[in-house]
Amino acid sequence: MKRSFLYSSILLFSLAGISASASAQSESEIRVSPCSIQSIQDKADSLKHLLSKGGYSVLREASISMESAYDIPIIVPMDEGAKYQFVFIGDEHSATYEVRMYDYHENQVVYKKNESGKKNTNIIRYAYTPRGSEYHMIKPLQINNERKSDLCGYVMLFKETKAKAKKGK
């Protein structure tokens, strides 16, 4: 039953991508659109540089417009035993930042939460090594008490390069 939900989610995202490219779109559709805030881009560039020095390369990255208290599901394939780093950078004025990750069987394998009040609380970064080669769902979320929409978020998925992995053995 859990697998059917994941398959439905994958199908939904595939269909959403097809319908987003259609010229006639209804007002009630959820549209994922990019955003651009220089301070978030600067932090993303800094983290990319830092992680590349640590032997990681960027697999996926995107800036996304978000609504307060609504997560954005991101489905990615991951390889068993590979080392990954995931980064979420939220709007600096939000009060809460969360990231949840689920494996193929919809078991929650990661939960990270930051609340405002400390330096760089709008950044969540964690390492993850999957136990099996399968799809994972990552769901970043931010809560802003003043603005409910047009919040900028930035997500990046890194994978350790083979050269670094061999060097470490």
Task: Kindly state whether residue 128 falls inside one of the protein's structural domains.
Answer: yes
Number of domains in the chain: 1
CATH number of the CATH domain containing 73: 2.60.120.380
Task: Kindly state whether residue 84 falls inside one of the protein's structural domains.
Answer: yes
Check residue 2 and give its pLDDT: 52
- Rounded to two decimals, the pTM is 0.78
Check residue 119 and give its pLDDT: 73
Task: Kindly state whether residue 43 falls inside one of the protein's structural domains.
Answer: yes
Task: Kindly state whether residue 38 falls inside one of the protein's structural domains.
Answer: yes
User: Band of the pLDDT at 1, cuts 50, 70, 90?
Assistant: low
Task: Kindly state whether residue 1 falls inside one of the protein's structural domains.
Answer: no
User: Band of the pLDDT at 15, cuts 50, 70, 90?
Assistant: very low
What radius of gyration, in Å, describes the C-alpha atoms of the chain?
17
What percent of the chain clears pLDDT 70, i.e. is strictly above it? 76
Residue spans of beta strands (DSSP E) within the chain: 56-66, 74-78, 84-89, 96-102, 108-115, 123-128, 134-143, 151-160
Task: Kindly state whether residue 11 falls inside one of the protein's structural domains.
Answer: no
- What residues make up the domain containing 41? 34-168
Task: Kindly state whether residue 2 falls inside one of the protein's structural domains.
Answer: no
Please compute the mean of the pLDDT values over residues 144-157 and round it to a whole number: 95
Can you say whether residue 150 is alpha, beta or left, with left for phi > 0 and alpha for psi between -120 and 50 degrees? left
Task: Kindly state whether residue 98 falls inside one of the protein's structural domains.
Answer: yes
For 43-93, the pLDDT digits (tens) are 999 999 999 999 999 999 999 999 999 999 999 999 999 999 999 999 999
pLDDT at 158 over 90: yes
